[in-house]
Structure 1
Amino acid sequence: MTIAHHRLHITAEWILDYAKSIEAPLQTINNLLIAPVTMPIIFWQQFDIPWLKKDTLLIHGSQSFSYELPISAGMILDCELSLAKIEKKTSRQGELTLFTHTLVCKCNEEHIVTAETVLILIGDGV
């Protein structure tokens, strides 16, 4: 299986905790607390990702975000995480496997954000 779904309730407390952890300034729009743009990076913690071995050490390669609307307190996001591509490469460190993931989050069927993340496995762990 290369697709996982999860529903996330975005609370003001969750936004505050995350913003504090990365020392980001707090922002509001129409008196609603807005999440820092990198917050989807922690949404992964809420997913059970069957195609990634739990005991495997992965390196964060890259991440990009494309927003239609900001994430704000009170939103309920329906998120879909998919494995878009697996690439094998050889480097000076040996064999590398690059896992490209796409996370799409919607609120009430309206597209909010798409995040693309590349995770790297060093060695033969696949």
Structure 2
Amino acid sequence: MNKIRFQVQLTTDNIVQYAHSIASPLQRIGGAAVAPSTMPVTFWKTADVPWLPMKAAMIHGTQQFTYHAPLMAGMNLNCELTLLAVEHKNGRSGVLTFYTHSLFCCHRGSPIAVAETVLIGRGE
């Protein structure tokens, strides 16, 4: 299985918590909190990603975000996470595994964000 679907509800609280955790100023449009641009990487916490090792520490490699509109409090997002590639490479500290993903999010049936992310695990 290399694709999962899940939903994310953006709330003011989770946007504020994430913005504070990365020391990002909170932005608002019409009074609604706007999610920082890197927030989609946290959406995976709401889903069970079966191809990622449960106990392995992961670090982010490259990340790229494309937006059709800002992510704002009150939105309910339908998300699809796809595993595009898995590569094993030898590093100085042993074998590294590179997981390349695409996260596609829609709001009310329209595309709103795409996040391309590479996660790196060690020793798998």
Q: What TM-score results when the alignment is normalised by the length of structure 2?
A: 0.92
Partner of 2:109: 109
Q: CA deviation at 1:65?
A: 0.8
* AA at the equivalent of 1:98: F
1:23 corresponding residue in structure 2: 23
2:59 maps to what in 1?
Answer: 59
Unaligned runs of 5+ in 2: none
CA–CA separation in structure 2 for the residues paired with 1:25 and 1:116: 24
Structure 1 alignment gaps of length 5 or more: none
2:65·2:116 contact (CA, 8 Å) conserved in 1?
A: yes
Deviations 1:1-60 (A, max 9, x none): 111111111111111111122221111122221111111121111110111121222222
1:69 aligned residue: 69
Give SS of 1:103's match: strand
Deviates more, 1:66-75 or 1:88-97: 88-97
Aligned AA for 1:10? L
Query: Structure 2 CA distance, aligned partners of 1:53 and 1:87?
Result: 14
TM-score normalised to the size of structure 1? 0.90
Equivalence for 2:80: 80
User: What one-letter code is carried by the residue in structure 2 that aligns with 1:72?
Assistant: M
Aligned residues: 124
* Matches of 1:71 and 1:11, distance apart in 2: 10
Q: Which residue of structure 1 aligns with residue 99 of structure 2?
A: 99
User: Sequence identity of aligned pairs in percent?
Assistant: 44
